[in-house]
Structure 1
Amino acid sequence: MGSDFSTVEIAQVASCSICQDLMSHPVSINCGHTYCKSCIQSYYNNVSPKKRVKKTLGCPLCRSPFSLETLRPNKELENIIDILKEMEEQDCEMLCKEHEEKLDIFCEDEGQLLCWRCYWDAQHKGHTLALVKDVHQEYTEKLQKCVTKLSELQENHKVQILAITCQINAWKDAIKDRKQTIQSNFKNLQRFLHEEEKFYLWRLENEEEQMLMRLRSKEASLQQKFEGMKCQIQELEAKCEGSAQKLLQDVKNTLSRCEAMKIETLTVEPLEIHTECNISELYLDVKTVLRRHQVSVILDPSTAHPDLALSKDRRQVTYKGCHKDLQTSAKRFSVLPCVLGCEGFTLGKYYFEVSVENASAWDVGVCRENVPRDFSMKKKPELGFWTIKMSEEDGLRALTSAPTPLLLSEKLQLVGVFLDYEAGAVSFYNVTAGSHIFTFPKACFISDTLRPFFQVYQHSPLFLPACQKESKK
């Protein structure tokens, strides 16, 4: 605090005689003396009850009796104490540490606050000096400009942080999607490998049974002949041991039968296993596995909606919108521009491909042969449809009971459709990328015939490539 005598005197008056500090929440007692509220309460409470007479106690300074009920706040003194505290804070901030004088001069060269005694030091000789009050506004404006600049930089960093956060989230989502794709592809490949393993084991077991049947048949025939010869030997031995008459009775026929018997040459079956499975050649990728079950699909004109036009080879369908006058048929789609493939699928595995390279909207999959083809037609699995749909508005979706959005990293050009009838699975693949798109949950086809299904939209022709089925090894 400064050396001003009046200020010191005021501070002494405003100090509590109990704690010797500036009073906190000053209160006055009956005699007029003032103390900190907490100090006088502690003083009163710490005195032994025996010394309290009728709840009165002597003032710490003049010993005049008082009680806690008579305490009254001294607001005027509290205001003076607040002013003293502010002056003390200001004085502490504005005093020179070396000389304890006010820092009211500013050195432009050093960027330091000086008192009047520092002003005469040789250290600051020749420097540009100014009164604090004269340069205060100038530096206030400079600092405000810095605040504005830093606020702009802070806002810019905030935007960049948000951008980085978005990138981090987008990257995590992309990694998550790719992880799911990889897991799905491997899961699907594992399922195919398991099915192929069962197929080859079945072939091997079938080959084993056929060979065993032939060998066991020969074994049974030889065993029968062996038993027959055993009986004849016993008959001849009995003749030899009997009387001369029994031996010679019908001996000519007996000898003739024995001489007619000859040793048969045993035909040895070549024990060669024909079932082979070259894993390294067979399972190069998913496409190799799928195309082992590929079937050639052509379009059935008797089912085509009147607005559709089929190519001569019935491998391409285009939406013309001309509504040709065709013979009315229960087989024909009458409301939506759809067409079926000619092939019927029952029992087994089937795979076909559809080129959608020049199409922006389409529906592809399989359906039951007897699905409705009028206004009652609804493409849902429970109603006999297992399809995926591409549209410009919603992108790619699986037409499950509630459509399932499907994410793709690139535009589809060739869609593969795989049907495992016994497993109740309909799967779709991005043939170009060799990746899995979607598999419908296990369904029961109830021994129905399933057929390839296509819905065609304007400016979106569909094409069925020639079968690339590979022969089994």
Structure 2
Amino acid sequence: MASVIKKLREEATCSNCQQLMTDPVVLECGHSFCHACVMSINENQQGDQPAEGIAFCALCMQTFQIESLRPNKKLKSIIETIKKVNCEKLCEEHGEKLHLFCEDDGQLICLCCERKPQHKGHVLVLAEDVCEDYKEKLQKAVTKLREDESLCNNLKLFLRKQRTEWEEKVKLQRQKIQSEFENLRSFLHNEENHFLRRLGEEEEQTLRQLQEGEDKVEKQSQELKNQIQELEKKCQGTVQNLMEGVKLTLSRSFDVKLELPEVISLDLHTVCNVSELYFDVRKILKRYQVSVTLDPETAHSDLLLSEDGRKVIGGHPQKKPHSASRFTALTAVLGHEGFTSGRHYFEVDVGEESKLCEFGVCQDNVPRDSNMKSLIQPDWGFWAIRKCQAERGLQALTWPRTSLHQEYLSVVGVFVDYEAGLVSFYNMETGSHIFTFPKASFSHPLRPFFLVYSSSSLSMSPPDILVKKQSPLH
């Protein structure tokens, strides 16, 4: 059969371009050429033509009229058959078509191979009969690999997100450590470098682990893509291409096991306890201490104020005269004192009995009639922290909220540097820094702010000794 195909191919080859003819045409002499080749020959013979519209056959030199060219449909059909046969693989031993598929050996065989001893007793089926079934199995394999690829892509996105979160977390922690040391830079320079170096080493180690995980997932993702391309190419090919080695291909695809990267903790271990390093921050803060009393004109009707204006208790509904400055939604009250410049410090006694309260400073023009708790954040003119239930600790009322950790908290110092745009909180029992809000640009007067829930209370600690503000806090 191979020799027959070879003979047909020779007959269907154009003597001009030496390729299988494209759009074959037959001349009056009976010879055939590609249509494009005939026109090319005609152009080259322009100077030798006996008359316009007449040309010579390149094989026998007989003349023919260009208009007499007719498509050679039979030859075109033969050429298409030759191309189709060339795409089909033949049995290397017998030169016959591979019509059968041996289920036992997982290979294509011809009718002659069927009679050979090595296939005796084997399950033999027509390749065309089982092709669709195996194609469906291959497509299922593609689906499974696509799911793994999708998981890989999600893992890559997750790891990149973790990387970003980790870098941001390290950045914020670095800023916190730096701000802790700014007040006592000259005394704590060596300690600061020590903690930053440890943080950098921790950052590098975790980033390296995250990068290794990302590289591992990327490698698996590429391997999955290569397998998917291989299977898709196999599905799009001929029956013989699809069936050849199909069982081995399926086995390889289902053996793919996606290795998930190790979960990396993003908890920081480099924590700077500067309270052990401060010589006595309390003395420095008290240089700027002011006396704060509560403004009854701003107090919500559920709040009870003491006669001296230094204590507020929640959960005591009362009838109070209407005031444009009174809080009607949030159970809050402001301090009389307003800050428009300079540095100011006051203390809040949260005590053991206060279960849930919020305090700090706010702009004088904050909304009084909104009960949206999410409004209590710097974007809306509030710089405050929340004392939660005992087991939940503290929160800085940023957005989103920032969890803070204090083992013991009774008296909190609030420090405001108006020109610098800073609001800081200190644990006055230990003399340690709690939290400083990111730098702001104050454009309105600031007033002490207190929000007290039912069954909670707050007290304003009176200054020990009110003194003139001395040199700036360094």
If the TM-score is normalised by the length of the shorter chain, which range does it land in? 0.5 to 0.7
Aligned pair count reads: 353
Secondary structure at the aligned position of 1:418 is classed as: strand
- In structure 2, relative to structure 1, the CA distance for the partners of 1:378 and 1:469 (3 Å cut) is same
1:289 and 1:467 mapped to 2: Cα distance?
18
- In structure 2, relative to structure 1, the CA distance for the partners of 1:30 and 1:463 (3 Å cut) is farther
Whether 2:284 is the aligned partner of 1:292: answer yes
- In structure 2, relative to structure 1, the CA distance for the partners of 1:183 and 1:429 (3 Å cut) is farther
Deviation sequence 1:387-421 (CA, Å, 0-9, x none):
xx9955567443259xx963344268887642124
Deviation sequence 1:71-106 (CA, Å, 0-9, x none):
55445532332123213323xx1x221332343454
Q: Which residue of 1 aligns with 2:63?
A: 65
Contact preservation (8 Å) 1:390, 1:396:
no
Structure 1 position 171, deviation (Å): 0.8
Q: Which residue of 1 aligns with 2:439?
A: 439
What is the correspondence of 1:14-413 to structure 2 with a 5 Å cutoff? 14-29=12-27, 31=29, 33-47=31-45, 49-55=46-52, 56-66=54-64, 71-90=69-88, 93=89, 95-115=90-110, 117-119=112-114, 124=118, 127-133=120-126, 137-138=129-130, 140-142=132-134, 144-148=136-140, 150-186=141-177, 188-189=179-180, 191-193=182-184, 284=276, 289=281, 292-294=284-286, 295=289, 298-300=292-294, 302-305=296-299, 307=301, 308-310=303-305, 316-320=311-315, 322-325=317-320, 333=326, 338-341=332-335, 348-352=342-346, 358-359=355-356, 364-367=360-363, 377-378=365-366, 392-393=373-374, 396-400=377-381, 406-410=399-403
If you compute each CA radius of gyration, which structure gives the higher value, 1 or 2? 1
2:75 and 2:282 mapped to 1: Cα distance?
96
Deviation sequence 1:97-128 (CA, Å, 0-9, x none):
13323434544443333445545655x17x42
Contact preservation (8 Å) 1:316, 1:461:
no
Contact preservation (8 Å) 1:24, 1:37:
yes
Percent identical across equivalent pairs?
25
2:86 and 2:405 mapped to 1: Cα distance?
79
- In structure 2, relative to structure 1, the CA distance for the partners of 1:411 and 1:89 (3 Å cut) is same
2:459 and 2:347 mapped to 1: Cα distance?
6
Structure 1 position 462, deviation (Å): 5.9
2:169 and 2:11 mapped to 1: Cα distance?
79
User: How big is the alpha-carbon RMSD for the aligned residues of Structure 1 and Structure 2?
Assistant: 5.0
Secondary structure at the aligned position of 1:434 is classed as: strand
The AA in structure 1 aligned to 2:156 is T
Deviation sequence 1:41-71 (CA, Å, 0-9, x none):
3333444x53244454311133233466665
- In structure 2, relative to structure 1, the CA distance for the partners of 1:282 and 1:63 (3 Å cut) is closer
1:346 and 1:129 mapped to 2: Cα distance?
96
Structure 1 position 179, deviation (Å): 3.3
Secondary structure at the aligned position of 1:160 is classed as: helix
Q: Which residue of 2 aligns with 1:234?
A: none
Q: Which residue of 1 aligns with 2:209?
A: none
1:190 and 1:408 mapped to 2: Cα distance?
24
2:464 and 2:82 mapped to 1: Cα distance?
99
1:84 and 1:310 mapped to 2: Cα distance?
102
1:141 and 1:398 mapped to 2: Cα distance?
63
Contact preservation (8 Å) 2:421, 2:442:
yes
1:192 and 1:8 mapped to 2: Cα distance?
93
The AA in structure 2 aligned to 1:305 is A
Q: Which residue of 1 aligns with 2:415?
A: 418
- In structure 2, relative to structure 1, the CA distance for the partners of 1:35 and 1:164 (3 Å cut) is same
Contact preservation (8 Å) 1:290, 1:418:
no
Structure 2 gap segments, 5+ residues each: 189-272, 383-396, 466-472
Secondary structure at the aligned position of 2:79 is classed as: helix
2:279 and 2:367 mapped to 1: Cα distance?
28
The AA in structure 1 aligned to 2:305 is L
Secondary structure at the aligned position of 2:326 is classed as: coil
- In structure 2, relative to structure 1, the CA distance for the partners of 1:155 and 1:461 (3 Å cut) is farther
Q: Which residue of 2 aligns with 1:219?
A: none
- In structure 2, relative to structure 1, the CA distance for the partners of 1:400 and 1:338 (3 Å cut) is closer
Contact preservation (8 Å) 1:25, 1:78:
yes
Whether 2:448 is the aligned partner of 1:463: answer no
Question: TM-score with structure 2 length normalisation?
Answer: 0.57
- In structure 2, relative to structure 1, the CA distance for the partners of 1:38 and 1:452 (3 Å cut) is same
The AA in structure 2 aligned to 1:180 is K
Whether 2:443 is the aligned partner of 1:452: answer no
The AA in structure 1 aligned to 2:304 is A
- In structure 2, relative to structure 1, the CA distance for the partners of 1:85 and 1:320 (3 Å cut) is same
Contact preservation (8 Å) 1:390, 1:397:
no
Structure 1 position 11, deviation (Å): 4.5
Contact preservation (8 Å) 2:91, 2:98:
yes
